[in-house]
């Protein structure tokens, strides 16, 4: 019981830490912020319910005023800014990513987690994200979607990474991938 | 880790956190429902006044906290500049500045502990879903404690990477970082258990 | 008067590998050392002794308390200082860290803070109360862990490699503190010299007690065996 509780807290810390480490560089030379990858990992590693809780905990701390979002951002202002929809979508994304990883047991951990991360972290996340941008920037939904498209390639790459990392964790510490426990 | 609460004491600091958070909800909702640039502009002016009242230092902090809006403001300027609807663009920009400016004001003037107490209270209906709000404080402490530990580990892993290759650190550094977090969780869970577990002993 | 520690036919394995072979032990001495190589089962022994993991069979009693089952009584009976303070410190500030265990023992917030302040004062570290743990040195964090354990006033304290990674002055300081403790001390180490003057030393090898007795008997035998292994190809059977 203690371990699951601490896992949730430490994965919330992991999302925060991923916003503090220097940007990693992909083979193509595109630097990405790893923070949304952290959200995907919460789902694919901890599973739907615990993953969503870890992300909720992270968001609660950001809302309380800890500068944990990449670039040292934090506070209530974020939740009324055009990013708000994505923030609200984070726990849902982790939940869906976790649910898919949990359910697709017939698939290897890599593929189930990558698919879960893509569906949760892109398809599901972008719905509230785009609505949030549409409302705050006073744009129509198609217009707001257009604004979000440049981020899709990066997020697709992150989904594959989430799959790879979850897969390697499953090999190194089989009992740590709670989504498959 | 430092919270975003301002070290500059303002008259707003002692005000209770609950009503302040309520005010944020109210102001944000009315901004988006009313949607008039005059109303948004008035709130922006009011915010400026509230930021300026405690002194120049606090005003500077408040304006600095609006940094996160620059990309969006640039986007609005570009979009509406190209489409020739500058007036509509100005309305959107004012609305954003008002909402974020007011919310930031509350973040800058409310202590983390007070905020946490409100969250714990607000979360108590979640008890129905098996959540234990009283554990929030402990979870919060763990995150604050382990964020710098994990970030430092990330740097160390990146350094070990640099020591052996001239290529820049890639995604491969993330897996050991996550693994480290998992191992830490196992040990910390033991430390927690060694001192009586998550919930206090009931007498 | 030291509380009696009983291992009653304890067994523990993981992933089908036996880590602690059936083990029955009675300890009543005030200063007990446990030596063994890496992987001999020392840390598992410590975790069983403190009730952090469940034995596969048997039970561990400390002062008559089943340390795994009765956690409430166990935390007042036995405390543990882990090797790495970063695995032990839960809270961002020193005072919070020390008061946590007291709160878990059912004391009020005010009482817990007061006791924590008192123990900081006793060790001349009152200024640390609001310091961030992350800003302290390794040795200082070690001391915070020890104070957090001492504040809970357990009758037995387990030290798992307490000197690993400490510089010489910090180590000597901790050695003095440890020597002065009124509690029963169980000291786990792979360095025989730090157990001079102890009442009893256990030598653990592959989950079994290889030798058990006075330090002047066990330690020379242990050291001789380590030298013999070190002279050969030690990595071969890692």
Q: How confident is the model at residue A32 (pLDDT cuts 50, 70, 90)?
A: low
pLDDT tens sequence across B115-125 = 888 888 887 88
For chain A, list the domains and their CATH numbers: 2-180 (1.10.1760.20)
Outline where C50-137 has alpha helix (H).
71-77, 94-104, 109-122
Query: With an 8 Å Cβ cutoff, is C106 touching chain B?
Result: yes
Same domain, B142 and B105: no
Q: Whole-angstrom Cα distance, residue A12 to residue B190? A: 19
Query: With an 8 Å Cβ cutoff, is C47 touching chain B?
Result: yes
Query: With an 8 Å Cβ cutoff, is A171 touching chain B?
Result: no
Chain A from 9 to 48: CB within 8 A of any B CB = 9-14, 16-18, 20-22, 24-27, 34, 37, 41, 45
Residue whose pair of structure tokens reads 């100005």 in the numeric block? B90
Q: Is the residue at B128 inside a domain?
A: no
Q: Cβ contact (<8 Å) for A9 and B179?
A: no
Which chain B residues have a beta carbon less than 8 Å from that of C103?
200
The pLDDT assigned to A114 comes to 94
pLDDT tens sequence across C61-109 = 999 999 998 888 898 899 999 888 888 888 888 998 898 889 888 888 8
Which chain B residues have a beta carbon less than 8 Å from that of C156?
none
Same domain, B84 and B161: no
Min Cα–Cα distance to chain C from B165, Å: 28
Distance separating the N- and C-terminal Cα atoms of chain C: 40
Q: How confident is the model at residue C12 (pLDDT cuts 50, 70, 90)?
A: very high
Q: Cβ contact (<8 Å) for C92 and B188?
A: no
Query: With an 8 Å Cβ cutoff, is A61 touching chain B?
Result: yes
Same domain, B88 and B148: no
Q: Answer with the one of B54, B75, B110 that is the final residue of a domain.
A: B110
pLDDT tens sequence across B142-195 = 998 889 889 888 888 877 777 777 677 777 788 888 888 898 898 899 988 888
Q: How confident is the model at residue C236 (pLDDT cuts 50, 70, 90)?
A: low
Residue A17: pLDDT over 80:
yes
Per DSSP, what are the bridge partners of residue C185?
C31, C157
Q: Which phi and psi (to 5°) does residue A81 adopt?
A: -90, 175
The pLDDT assigned to C174 comes to 84
Q: List the domain range (segments joined by +) for residue B170.
A: 135-203
> B46 exposed, middle or buried (CB, 10 Å; 0-12, 13-18, 19+)?
middle
Q: Cβ contact (<8 Å) for A165 and B175?
A: yes
Which chain C residues have a beta carbon less than 8 Å from that of B144?
92
Give which of B191, B198, B200, B203 to mutate to test C binding, by max C Cβ within 10 Å: B191
Contacts of C205 (CB under 8 A, 6+ apart): C36, C37, C40
Same domain, B56 and B141: no
Break chain A down into helix, strand, coil percent, rounded to 5: 75, 5, 20
The pLDDT assigned to C5 comes to 94
Q: How confident is the model at residue B203 (pLDDT cuts 50, 70, 90)?
A: very low
Same domain, B78 and B167: no
Contacts of A146 (CB under 8 A, 6+ apart): none
Residue C211: pLDDT over 90:
yes
pLDDT tens sequence across B44-89 = 999 999 999 998 889 998 888 888 888 888 888 888 888 888 888 8
Q: Is the residue at B52 inside a domain?
A: yes
Q: Cβ contact (<8 Å) for B191 and C88?
A: yes
Q: Is the residue at B121 inside a domain?
A: no
Q: Cβ contact (<8 Å) for A68 and B147?
A: yes
Total number of domains in chain B: 2
Q: Whole-angstrom Cα distance, residue C95 to residue C7? A: 35
Same domain, B51 and B95: yes
Q: Is the residue at B123 inside a domain?
A: no
pLDDT over 90 for what percent of chain A?
Answer: 51
pLDDT tens sequence across A90-149 = 999 999 999 999 999 888 989 999 999 999 999 999 999 999 999 988 889 998 898 888
Residue C121: pLDDT over 50:
yes
Same domain, B80 and B162: no
Same domain, B100 and B35: yes
Q: Is the residue at B129 inside a domain?
A: no
Contacts of C42 (CB under 8 A, 6+ apart): C34, C35, C36, C160, C188, C190, C204
Same domain, B18 and B95: yes
Chain B / chain C CB contacts < 8 angstroms: 72
Q: Whole-angstrom Cα distance, residue B95 to residue A80? A: 10
Q: Is the residue at B116 inside a domain?
A: no
Alpha carbon A68 to chain centroid distance? 14
Q: Whole-angstrom Cα distance, residue A180 to residue A109? A: 8
Same domain, B105 and B200: no
Outline where chain B has alpha helix (H).
17-34, 37-52, 56-65, 70-83, 86-109, 112-122, 136-164, 174-194
Chain A from 68 to 97: CB within 8 A of any B CB = 68, 71, 73-83
Residue A28: pLDDT over 50:
no
Q: Is the residue at B22 inside a domain?
A: yes
Min Cα–Cα distance to chain C from B108, Å: 21
Residue A13: pLDDT over 70:
yes
Min Cα–Cα distance to chain B from C98, Å: 10
Q: Cβ contact (<8 Å) for B65 and A75?
A: yes
pLDDT averaged over every residue in chain B: 85
Segment C6-21 shows an average pLDDT of: 89
Segment B89-106 shows an average pLDDT of: 90
The pLDDT assigned to A27 comes to 46
Q: Is the residue at B126 inside a domain?
A: no
Q: Cβ contact (<8 Å) for A67 and B168?
A: no
pTM, two decimal places: 0.82
Give which of C81, C85, C100, C159 to mutate to test B binding, by max B Cβ within 10 Å: C100
Q: Cβ contact (<8 Å) for B142 and C87?
A: no
Same domain, B95 and B148: no
Same domain, B10 and B93: yes
- Yes or no: say if A5 and B195 are a contact pair by the CB < 8 Å rule: no
């Amino acid at each position: 019981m203690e371990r699951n509780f601490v896992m949730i807290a430490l994965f919330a810390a992991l999302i925060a830490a991923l916003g503090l480490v220097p940007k990693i560089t992909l083979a193509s030379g595109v630097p990405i912020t790893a923070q949304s990858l952290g959200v995907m990992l919460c789902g694919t590693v901890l599973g739907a319910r615990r993953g969503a809780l870890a992300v909720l905990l992270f968001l609660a701390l950001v809302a309380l005023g800890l500068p944990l979002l990449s670039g040292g951002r934090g506070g209530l202002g974020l939740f009324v800014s055009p990013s708000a929809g994505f923030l609200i979508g984070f726990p849902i994304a982790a939940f869906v990513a976790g649910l898919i990883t949990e359910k697709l047991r017939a698939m290897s951990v890599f593929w189930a987690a990558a698919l879960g991360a893509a569906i949760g972290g892109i398809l599901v996340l972008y719905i509230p994200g785009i609505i949030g941008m549409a409302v705050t920037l006073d744009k129509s939904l198609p217009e707001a979607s257009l604004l979000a498209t440049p981020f899709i390639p990066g997020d697709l790459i992150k989904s594959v990474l989430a799959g790879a990392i979850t897969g390697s964790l499953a090999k190194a510490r089989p009992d740590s991938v709670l989504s498959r426990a | 880790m430092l919270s975003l609460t301002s070290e500059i004491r303002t008259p707003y600091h002692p005000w209770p956190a609950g009503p302040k958070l309520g005010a944020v909800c109210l102001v944000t909702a009315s901004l988006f429902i009313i949607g008039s640039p005059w109303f948004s502009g008035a709130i922006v002016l009011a915010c400026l006044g509230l930021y300026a009242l405690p002194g120049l230092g606090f005003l500077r902090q408040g304006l600095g906290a609006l940094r996160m809006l620059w990309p969006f403001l640039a986007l609005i300027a570009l979009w509406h500049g190209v489409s020739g609807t500058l007036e509509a663009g100005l309305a959107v920009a004012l609305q954003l500045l008002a909402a974020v400016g007011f919310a930031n004001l509350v973040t800058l003037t409310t202590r983390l502990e007070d905020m946490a107490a409100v969250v714990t209270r607000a979360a108590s209906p979640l008890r129905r879903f098996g959540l234990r709000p009283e554990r929030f404080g402990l979870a919060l402490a763990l995150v604050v404690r382990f964020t710098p530990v994990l970030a430092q580990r990330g740097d160390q892993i990146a350094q070990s990477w640099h020591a052996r290759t001239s290529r820049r650190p890639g995604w491969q550094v993330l897996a050991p970082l996550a693994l480290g977090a998992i191992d830490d969780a196992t040990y910390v869970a033991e430390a927690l258990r060694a001192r009586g577990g998550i919930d206090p002993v009931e007498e | 008067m030291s509380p009696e520690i009983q291992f009653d036919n304890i067994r523990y394995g993981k992933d089908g590998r036996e880590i602690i072979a059936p083990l029955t032990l009675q300890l009543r001495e005030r200063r007990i050392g446990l030596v063994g190589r890496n992987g001999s089962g020392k840390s598992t022994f410590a975790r069983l002794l403190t009730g952090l993991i469940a034995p596969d069979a048997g039970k561990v009693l400390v002062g008559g308390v089943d340390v795994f089952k009765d956690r409430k009584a166990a935390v007042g009976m036995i405390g543990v200082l882990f090797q790495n303070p970063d695995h032990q410190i839960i809270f961002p500030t020193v005072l919070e860290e020390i008061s946590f265990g007291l709160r878990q023992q059912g004391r009020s917030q005010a009482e817990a803070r007061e006791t924590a302040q008192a123990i900081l004062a006793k060790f001349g570290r009152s200024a640390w109360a609001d310091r961030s743990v992350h800003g302290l040195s390794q040795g200082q964090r070690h001391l915070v862990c020890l104070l957090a354990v001492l504040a809970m006033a357990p009758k037995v304290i387990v030290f798992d490699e307490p000197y690993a990674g400490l510089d010489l002055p910090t180590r000597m300081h901790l050695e003095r503190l440890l020597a002065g403790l009124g509690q029963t001390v169980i000291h786990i180490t792979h360095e025989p010299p730090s157990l001079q003057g102890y009442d009893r030393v256990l030598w653990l090898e592959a989950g079994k007690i290889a030798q058990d007795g006075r330090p002047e008997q066990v330690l020379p035998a242990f050291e001789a065996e380590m030298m013999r292994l070190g002279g050969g190809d030690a990595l071969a059977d890692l």
